Amino acid sequence: MLEVEHAETYYGETQALFGASIAVRRGEAVALLGPNGAGKTTMLRSILGLTPARRGAIRFGGRDITTAATSDIARAGIAWVPDDRRIFPSLKVKTNLALGKKRTAFRSWTEKQVFELFPALEYLLDRESENLSGGEMQMVAIGRALLGGPGLVLLDEPSQGLAPKLVQDVMKTITRLKNENIGVLVVEQNIRSVLAVSDRVYVIHQGRVVHEGSASALLADDVTRTKLLGT
Ligand SMILES: Nc1ncnc2c1ncn2[C@@H]1O[C@H](COP(=O)(O)OP(=O)(O)O)[C@@H](O)[C@H]1O
Ligand SMILES: [Mg+2]
């Protein structure tokens, strides 16, 4: 579904990705791991066309999106749950959710289906978004992504700042998306939790993919995991 081939991405003259290649299949959860500053967010920004790759190729459903506009990439069915969530604080929850609505070639979720996934969300609709907790904001951000009919969801550190119980809820959500045949590319620092729900994993160091393989194998291999990720 998604193929990134030898992406080289720069911020001005500073190169952040050095020929990084990854792939995500339909209905597959793929973890993208690595230390701070490794280039994980840059990979997501390259896929979204926010910081387009200067060299290499990015394809979605066979279509070359390397230099496509971010709005076109969104309409093609790639949704983003950014690390800072980007919820408009001055708007009600229902308005923030409505902003995500659009038609794509993939199944569009109805509000009712989103509330089945996150029952608490229905009771927050009239709440001002600035008063939301971290966990509530995460539900709004993921709900907004689903209302946009995604075929692939990019999650940037979705469990960041959440209590342990809510971290497990985020991991369950990843499994739910997979079961709905949505592809998931997830950047995480909760390494073991995310490996437990992912199919495959890529580890990047300094803008290069240094490990690629099965998530369960890396979860079981303490030596390799500690060497690559320190945990
Ligand atoms: N807006 C930016 N301008 C310049 N350099 C940036 C910018 N954003 C990120 N970088 C640099 O790119 C590299 C990768 O960053 P990033 O993709 O955010 O890492 P990660 O998400 O893995 O922590 C880092 O060296 C970082 O300093
Ligand atoms: Mg990041």
Distance 126 CA to ligand 2 centre (A): 31
Per-residue pLDDT, 165: 87
User: How many C-beta atoms surround the C-beta of residue 26 within 10 A?
Assistant: 14
Nearest CA to ligand 1 atom 25: 37
* Cβ(179) – ligand 1 distance below 6 Å: no
Per-residue pLDDT, 85: 87
SS3 category, 59: strand
Q: Where exactly are the structural domains of the chain?
A: 2-87+150-229
Per-residue pLDDT, 46: 98
Per-residue pLDDT, 110: 92
Q: Report the alpha-carbon distance of residue 113 to residue 121 in Å, rounded.
A: 11
Nearest CA to ligand 1 atom 4: 11
Minimal CA–CA distance to 125: which of 95, 89, 81? 95
Bridge partners of 211? 203
Q: Which atom of ligand 1 is nearest to the CA of 207?
A: 14
* Cβ(34) – ligand 1 distance below 6 Å: yes
Residue numbers in the chain where pLDDT is lower than 50: none
SS3 category, 33: strand
Nearest CA to ligand 1 atom 20: 37
- Provide the CB-side half-sphere exposure for 150 (13 A, CA): 28
SS3 category, 87: coil
Q: What is the CATH number of domain 2-87+150-229?
A: 3.40.50.300
Q: Best substitution site from 17, 22, 42, 189 to test ligand 1's pocket, by max atoms within 8 Å of Cβ?
A: 42
Per-residue pLDDT, 158: 94
Taking phi over 0 as left and psi of -120 to 50 as alpha, with beta for the rest, 91 belongs to: beta
Q: Which atom of ligand 1 is nearest to the CA of 187?
A: 21
Q: Collect residues with CB below 5 Å from ion ligand 2.
A: 40-41
Per-residue pLDDT, 99: 93
Q: Report the alpha-carbon distance of residue 4 to residue 196 in Å, rounded.
A: 24
